[in-house]
Amino acid sequence: MKKVIIGLFILMVILVGINEKENILIPDNAIRFRVIANSDTKEDQKLKIDIKNNVEKELYNLIGNAKNIEEARKIISNNLNKVDSILKTYGVDYDISYGNNYFPKKTYKGISYDAGNYESLVITIGEGLGKNWWCVLFPPLCLLDEQNNLDNVEYELYATKIINKFK
């Protein structure tokens, strides 16, 4: 009986831990960034990543020092022409949407991101029928994993630290 009680206690701790991970959510005052590929062909997916890399680099140069979401919003709004200029160099059809856009539910490295409409910059390439790439542009989580090659636990800790910094 004692082993059963201990086992149940351990199970509860694990379940609480899982629920805690799901509670690590990006704040309402965040700006997401999403690039949707034309299709799932190898070429279209490669193009999506290339566009993502170039636009993301420009955006971080612009908003890297933003102190709050209002400042980040203003910078993004005032520089959509730069994003447009980058996209024009690819010679493909695209759409840029900055505002409230729909995101499906995602779980990445132990952090749950609920489905819903979120403030975001969304680039749709061509028909937009392919897999997408997305991240949190502000607070600046986009480059967190790429720069540091973090495992799930490390990612959660860093992400939580950055999110709390901008609350």
What does the DSSP 8-state code read for residue 40? Answer: S
**Cα separation, 4 vs 94, whole angstroms:** 59
Question: Does an H or E element contain 132, and which?
Answer: strand 132-138
Give the total number of structural domains in the chain.
1
Asked whether residue 1 is assigned to any structural domain, the reply reads no
Asked whether residue 10 is assigned to any structural domain, the reply reads no
Dmax (CA) of the chain: 70
Asked whether residue 20 is assigned to any structural domain, the reply reads no
Asked whether residue 146 is assigned to any structural domain, the reply reads yes
Domain containing 117: what range? 27-165
Asked whether residue 37 is assigned to any structural domain, the reply reads yes
For residue 93, the number of C-alpha atoms closer than 13 Å in the C-beta half-sphere is 5
State residue 82's pLDDT score: 97
Asked whether residue 102 is assigned to any structural domain, the reply reads yes
- Residues whose CB falls within 8 Å of the CB of residue 23, separated by 6 or more in sequence, listed in order: 112
**Cα separation, 75 vs 6, whole angstroms:** 54
pLDDT, one tens digit per residue, over 24-79 is 556 778 899 999 999 999 999 999 999 999 999 999 889 888 989 999 999 999 99
Asked whether residue 82 is assigned to any structural domain, the reply reads yes
pLDDT, one tens digit per residue, over 7-27 is 444 545 455 454 444 455 567
pTM of the full predicted structure? 0.75
Asked whether residue 16 is assigned to any structural domain, the reply reads no
